[in-house]
């Protein structure tokens, strides 16, 4: 290893560490994962309400579907159907959803819950 090699080595290490610091420092301020998402609930094609899914909150409410009252539970950034008047209970059995793009659909009750927001990952390739 010559002197120039060592300089190059030091330069490369320095450059990658500096670029690492420059690139990653903007993430340290706000926690990306805690970025709030929204759940949009629509009944019979119309948006009924939009709920901010912020971490650390917990609530449940009743909404009127086509068949009758359904109970929706919200816990932090996830949401689920707790009770539904339909026969199949597909929506209840789907349990919690939390990632943007995920949906719970109750076809007999004509209820749809969809989480909106930016996905943390949109593709993984190897």
Partner 1 sequence: MTSQGTRRMVFMGLLVALATALHVVEGMLSIPLPVPGVKLGLANVVTLLAIYLYGFRDGLTVALMRVLLGSLISGMFLSPGFMLGLTGAVGSTMIMALLLKHTTCFSMIGISMAGAAAHNMGQLLAACLILQNSALIYYLPVLLLTGIPTGIFTGVLLNSLISQSEKSGMLNDLVRTSP
| Residues in contact with partner 1 by the rule CB under 8 A | 1-5, 8-9, 12-13, 15-17, 19-20, 23-24, 123, 125-126
Kindly state the smallest distance separating residue 99's Cβ from partner 1, in Å: 19
Give the span between the Cα atoms of 114 and 96, in whole angstroms: 12
Query: In terms of CB distance, is 87 or 123 closer to partner 1?
Result: 123
Give the span between the Cα atoms of 35 and 57, in whole angstroms: 14
Query: In terms of CB distance, is 24 or 45 closer to partner 1?
Result: 24
Kindly state the smallest distance separating residue 123's Cβ from partner 1, in Å: 8
Query: In terms of CB distance, is 73 or 117 closer to partner 1?
Result: 117
The one-character DSSP state at 107 is: T
Kindly state the smallest distance separating residue 22's Cβ from partner 1, in Å: 9
Give the span between the Cα atoms of 5 and 7, in whole angstroms: 5
- The 3-state DSSP class for residue 106 equals strand
32 C-beta neighbours (distance < 10 Å), count: 9
Specify which residues 53 forms β-bridges with: 37
Kindly state the smallest distance separating residue 34's Cβ from partner 1, in Å: 19
Query: In terms of CB distance, is 4 or 87 closer to partner 1?
Result: 4
């Amino acid at each position: 290893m010559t002197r120039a090699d060592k300089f190059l080595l030091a330069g490369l290490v320095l450059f990658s560490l500096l670029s690492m610091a420059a690139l990653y420092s903007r993430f340290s301020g706000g926690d990306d994962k805690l970025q709030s998402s929204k759940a949009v609930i629509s009944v019979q094609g119309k948006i009924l309400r939009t709920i901010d899914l912020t971490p650390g909150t917990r609530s449940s409410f009743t909404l009127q579907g086509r068949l009758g009252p359904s109970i929706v539970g919200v816990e932090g950034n996830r949401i689920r159907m707790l009770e539904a008047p339909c026969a199949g209970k597909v929506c209840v059995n789907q349990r919690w959803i939390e990632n943007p793009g995920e949906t719970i659909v109750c076809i007999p009750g004509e209820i749809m819950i969809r989480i909106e927001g930016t996905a943390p990952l949109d593709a993984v390739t190897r």
